[in-house]
Amino acid sequence: MTITPVILCGGSGSRMWPLSRGAYPKQFLSLYGDESLLQQTATRLKGLPDVVAPLLISNNEQRFLVAEQLRAVGVVNAKIVLEPIGRNTAPAVAVAAVIALENNPDAILMVLPSDHVIAHRTVFQQLVVQAASVAAQGKLVTFGIAPTEPHTGYGYIRRGAKLLNTTYDVAAFVEKPNIERAKAFLATGEYYWNSGMFMFRADVYLAELEKYQPKMLEQVRAAVAGSVRDLDFVRLELDAFAACPADSIDYAVMEHTEHAAVIAAADLGWNDIGSWAALAEVSTADTEGNNLVGDVMIEGVSNSYIRSESRMIAAIGVDHLVIVETADAILVAHKDKVQDVKNIVNRLQAAGRSESMMHRKVYRPWGSYEGLDSGARFQVKRIIVNPGAALSLQMHYHRAEHWIVVSGTARVVNGDQTLLLCENQSTYIPIGATHRLENPGKFPLEMIEVQSGSYLGEDDIVRFEDTYGRVEVK
């Protein structure tokens, strides 16, 4: 019995704005502990018996974030599959099942969201071993979280007949209830929160999907068959996957199958971090009920979550608030209203505001850049290039660039010249000049870039060569 972990990491996490953005969502953030939520999900598997390297389902925009974060925590040989378009969890898991069966006809999938907190790893691993034994018998096992309060933000699972230890047949899946129904569920002791974690044999899942969603399975198989390898990534075929119906595992399979089971997950320390208030619940609080992160100074504040990322926050005489500061946005919300953050994100998107998608600091496969200042015809950026990394060979139609090395060593292609620049040295890249920036050293290269011209958008880039497969022009 071999277990293949399937980590779903394509979500947007809009309820955790302004820290979570479309291009850098919450699974990549260190919200709880030093590691990101994705890294915690991957390292949580260490020590489990009969577990192979994980299979991750991501998207094109975040592929290098996934790869780099796994590398940073020593997770090797992971397979990263790129969806060309989001189609919810049922097709994503079907892709994983088809791929897993190519290597092992008896593969058991352990499906995990990448953005949950599980505080008690030992308990989690014990539950995985128990769930795997039930899944091996042909059951589709979901992890039901023993409820601690009448929560209205989760779907519920009602247990049926007992199968083994704390595993039961599923009697019913229930949509998110109102508070009265949630209280009634809690009183019976027969209901669990639906965690979105599953274990089942890959062949059993595909058989059930074929029974209830045959079109979905057909398109998934075509997308996998037409996939191509790109560096360390597997790219699904676009047209086939785009034609795939979009649905969740619950709606597509679990609510219809006769083989659903639920394992009662108590004492797991589970939280889906679905809002800033949820994060506050699992974070360490002071004697006044405050969770303070970063450079924060308070006076007469209680029951508040206050987080500073770049500047000092001072708060006086407030209660039950969430205050989150980033370099380009500040959120102030009552704890009871934090679910409405998504409405702000929707309005930002409708207005075409970049703050819904991008941070001021933007990560790239070669490092990062951060906007420092800008005006009508200029822009100043701080650029960090990782050791051994290189930007693409490129040119711009509308802007010139001045590069100043702050620390480290830069190898620069500038037209017909190749230069080696050290600290405090600089060069000028005229409009239309072919150029490239590389860090040949063993330490990060830090530079200041000053752009000037009539148009300074990121889409004014023509790439001729690129280490990371982003070439538009041959």
Residue 378 CA to residue 401 CA, distance in Å, equals 10
Q: What is the mean pLDDT of residues 184-204?
A: 96
Q: How confident is the model at residue 181 (pLDDT cuts 50, 70, 90)?
A: very high
Q: What is the mean pLDDT of residues 249-277?
A: 94
Residue 435 · residue 394 · CB < 8 Å: yes
Peptide linkage before 91 cis (omega within 30 of 0) = no
Residue 103 · residue 201 · CB < 8 Å: no
Domain 361-465 architecture: Sandwich (2.60)
**Which residue, 405, 375, 393, is CA-closest to 470?**
393
Q: What does pTM read for this prediction?
A: 0.88
- CA 431 and chain centroid, separation: 37
Counting residues of the chain whose pLDDT is more than 70, the rounded percentage is: 99
Q: What is the mean pLDDT of residues 238-244?
A: 96
Q: What is the pLDDT of residues 139-165, one digit of tens each?
A: 999 999 999 999 988 999 999 999 988
| Residue range(s) of every CATH 3.90.550.10 domain in the chain | 3-271
Q: What is the pLDDT of residue 470?
A: 64
Other beta carbons less than 10 A from residue 61's beta carbon: 13
Q: What is the mean pLDDT of residues 437-464?
A: 94
Residue 195 CA to residue 149 CA, distance in Å, equals 15
**Which residue, 437, 442, 468, is CA-closest to 387?**
442
Q: What is the pLDDT of residue 315?
A: 98
| Residue range(s) of every CATH 2.60.120.10 domain in the chain | 361-465
Vertex 175: Cα angle to 170 and 181 (nearest 5): 95
354 token code pair: 């970049």
**Which residue, 282, 263, 234, is CA-closest to 132?**
263
Asked if pLDDT for residue 471 goes beyond 80, the answer is: no
Residue 414 CA to residue 432 CA, distance in Å, equals 11
Q: What is the pLDDT of residues 95-119, one digit of tens each?
A: 999 999 998 999 999 999 999 999 9
Q: What is the mean pLDDT of residues 384-389?
A: 96
3-state SS, the chain, equals CCEEEEEECCCCCHHHCCCCECCECHHHCCCCCCCCHHHHHHHCCCCCCCECCCEEEEEHHHHHHHHHHHHHCCCCCCEEEEECCCCCHHHHHHHHHHHHHHHCCCCEEEEEECCCEECCHHHHHHHHHHHHHHHCCCCEEEEEECCCCCCCCCCEEEEEEEEECCEEEEEEEECCCCHHHHHHHHHHCCEEEEEEEEEEEHHHHHHHHHHHCHHHHHHHHHHHHCCEEECCEEECCHHHHHCCCCCCHHHHHHCCCCCEEEEEECCCCEECCCCHHHHHHHCCCCCCCCEEECCEEEECCECCEEEECCCCEEEECCECEEEEECCCCEEEEEHHHHHHHHHHHHHHHHCCCHHHCCCCEEEECCEEEEEEEECCCEEEEEEEECCCCECCEEECCCEEEEEEEEECCEEEEECCEEEEECCCCEEEECCCCCEEEECCCCCCEEEEEEEEECCCCCCCCEEEECCCCCCCCC
Residue 127 CA to residue 130 CA, distance in Å, equals 5
Counting residues of the chain whose pLDDT is more than 90, the rounded percentage is: 88
Asked if pLDDT for residue 13 goes beyond 80, the answer is: no
Asked if pLDDT for residue 472 goes beyond 60, the answer is: no
Q: What is the pLDDT of residue 212?
A: 97
The CATH fold of domain 3-271: Spore Coat Polysaccharide Biosynthesis Protein SpsA; Chain A (3.90.550)
Longest dimension (CA), the chain: 76
Q: What is the pLDDT of residue 474?
A: 38
Q: What is the mean pLDDT of the chain?
A: 94
Residue 263 CA to residue 370 CA, distance in Å, equals 46
56 sits in the region (left: phi over 0; alpha: psi -120 to 50; else beta) called beta
Q: What is the pLDDT of residue 218?
A: 97
Residue 307 CA to residue 4 CA, distance in Å, equals 37
Asked if pLDDT for residue 80 goes beyond 50, the answer is: yes
Residue 110 · residue 195 · CB < 8 Å: no
Name residues whose C-beta falls within 8 Å of residue 443's C-beta, 6 or more positions apart in sequence: 387, 407, 408
Q: What is the pLDDT of residue 171?
A: 96
Residue 301 CA to residue 320 CA, distance in Å, equals 9
Amino acid at 54: P
Asked if pLDDT for residue 473 goes beyond 50, the answer is: no
305 sits in the region (left: phi over 0; alpha: psi -120 to 50; else beta) called beta
The phi and psi torsions of 32 (rounded to 5 degrees) equal -140, 95
